Structure 1
């Protein structure tokens, strides 16, 4: 029996993306008799099993004509790879994926990593008149493709209520929990920050919405009270103006360090800084697109027993309170002296690292779905 070919594809995510490669790709590579092909944005090739193949097909500015011609590249790759099962990780590849599946009898799944329509209307990435138009276009594409999708994989629990195109019994929630790598060791707990320097960390996408400037402001104020306090910002900024403003803001402040910024940062480098830091910052600004989601970094910080300062959010608050993983604060109004006092006085992770933060359980659900789909291919 010939090997089944599984294709995981995204237009903007790098081929070494945490979810697309490390979670979906590596998990599916454990299946016998399969090839796993990953199409994505150009990035360094990571070590991988022999049945995992990379296709770094895309390399363009986020707003450019090349983003449109990428569809042609994707269609050509589909014809060359001839997958039996496609997992589209972005709405932009749904139409081409559906056409291929109808032509060759392949199966299509949609890994919903974001509520794209909600993002477009609630975030300020595009001029106001364009937001509603683009959101409507995305939702139409998703609804039109939905009847041809054999299964939806949802990265957030909230999507089950938010997305109108889901059919009952055709979706599974696969949260972005932490997948340990070979270098991972369960950290010691409980954690006390009563004494010593404090290394603050902001990791992930560098954006106004995710509170990078609130992180800088808090670090400045805390540093004024305690010179041993520093901040590292690591990640990629998709917006050049945001990055330019950030660089000017931290210039001449050696206690604030920027890693990445104008380029993608390897996930392992981010994890290394999580290991070395004392406090993780999640200063997300209140927004409908994020208020019901659980950030991947929240799971990563808990896996390394990193205490967190998190912007008020009822969902995140319940997680932090249960695990004693950090403090809920208002980054804009709370007094820095009070924040510092709370950090120094409280013990964190007093019951150890919670076991429900790991990808292992999500992997079992994924493999069950894929095994069933491949039997019909």
Structure 2
């Protein structure tokens, strides 16, 4: 049987990115109706899959000339693969993906993982003078290329309200829920002599890494069994240097990664072994208030209790499972928090299966099947 050639493409996400590979890629491949191809940032993780082909690029910095030229290089991969369906995973590929559709046909889908315009406007990645210009450029690309796209996938429910240019009849919300390669019941973490706190995922000031360190310091002063494990990638050099300086004399804080991409399965293993996970992503003028973060799904699916920024949306999510201790880093009481950590019972209610990818998978496959000559 001839399979539909499908390509998932990104500039700054690694080829083993959990959404592109573990969720979209593996789910599509197991139907046996698609030849799945993934373009992403080069990764140290060696990947093999019978029905998935990987095309890596990079490495390059976020503020480099190579990043500017990467779409044209990725377009050459489009020409090599000749996909019938392209899932464009970032705004940077909107133009070349639209050009491919004009020249060669096929169906193209925009997987919107972030509200890129709001991110540019409200984070410190770019200088203040550049932010309005870059935000306008990104929104212009989205509006100009919109007619060429056959479908839109939204990673957050709130994007349905925030992104007015997305046609409701062409879009679907597919949340970034947790996809285990094998579902394993969480083991009890009460046997460890240490209390291991975990900060996982993208490492940055805006994600609360320095608040996590400060909270750990205060808890460690009261109880020397407190440990912090930081695992992930830090894209901003200034944040990485500040982080390295902040932890260099603290034997109770361990950094895994920082200057390199860490395989997602290694991150998940750390989640399984930790006692508490930090969720301290900053509001950034409200752009994160209504988002359900990936780590919320990952932590709850693995029944990891959380030290959670007191965000109403996140508190409501965690209250369903009784899975978190809400905190305010600016008014933090280490004695009270430590007592709650030691004396509270977590995950005493609710069903954490709702945080698993399987609750999204069938809807995703049905949506993609509309653009294929095959039906699922």
TM-score category of the 2 structures, normalised to the smaller one? over 0.9
**Count of residues in correspondence between the two structures:** 374
User: Any unmatched runs of 5+ in structure 2?
Assistant: none
- Superposed displacement of residue 353, structure 1: 4.6
> Cα RMSD over matched residues?
1.8
Task: Please give the per-residue CA displacement for 1:314-335, whole angstroms capped at 9, x wherever unaligned.
Answer: 1101111111011111022121
Q: Which residue of 2 aligns with 1:252?
A: 249
Q: Which residue of 1 aligns with 2:210?
A: 213
Please give the alpha-carbon distance, in whole angstroms, between the structure 1 residues aligned to 2:21 and 2:146. Answer: 24
- Superposed displacement of residue 8, structure 1: 0.2
Matched, 1:239 2:227: no
Matched, 1:286 2:283: yes
Q: Which residue of 2 aligns with 1:327?
A: 325
Match of 1:347, SS state, is coil
TM-score (norm 1): 0.95
**Which structure 2 residues correspond to residues 153-302 of structure 1 after superposition, within 5 A?**
153-182=153-182, 184-187=183-186, 197-287=194-284, 288-302=286-300
With over 3 angstroms needed to count, the CA separation of the structure-2 counterparts of 1:309 and 1:55, relative to structure 1, is same
**Worse-superposed segment, 102-111 or 281-290:** 281-290
Please give the alpha-carbon distance, in whole angstroms, between the structure 1 residues aligned to 2:202 and 2:45. Answer: 21
Matched, 1:21 2:24: no
Q: Which residue of 2 aligns with 1:119?
A: 119
Match of 1:63, SS state, is coil
Mapped contact 2:232–2:258 kept (Cα < 8 A)? yes
- Superposed displacement of residue 106, structure 1: 0.8
**Which structure 2 residues correspond to residues 145-160 of structure 1 after superposition, within 5 A?**
145-160=145-160
TM-score (norm 2): 0.96
Please give the alpha-carbon distance, in whole angstroms, between the structure 1 residues aligned to 2:65 and 2:373. Answer: 40
User: Any unmatched runs of 5+ in structure 1?
Assistant: none
Mapped contact 1:75–1:96 kept (Cα < 8 A)? yes
Q: Which residue of 2 aligns with 1:348?
A: 346
Match of 2:206, SS state, is coil
Task: Please give the per-residue CA displacement for 1:48-103, whole angstroms capped at 9, x wherever unaligned.
Answer: 43111000023211111111221221111111110000000000001000110111
- Superposed displacement of residue 129, structure 1: 1.1
Q: Which residue of 1 aligns with 2:335?
A: 337
Task: Please give the per-residue CA displacement for 1:158-213, whole angstroms capped at 9, x wherever unaligned.
Answer: 0000002111211100001111113x312268x879x9531100001110001000
Match of 1:75, SS state, is helix
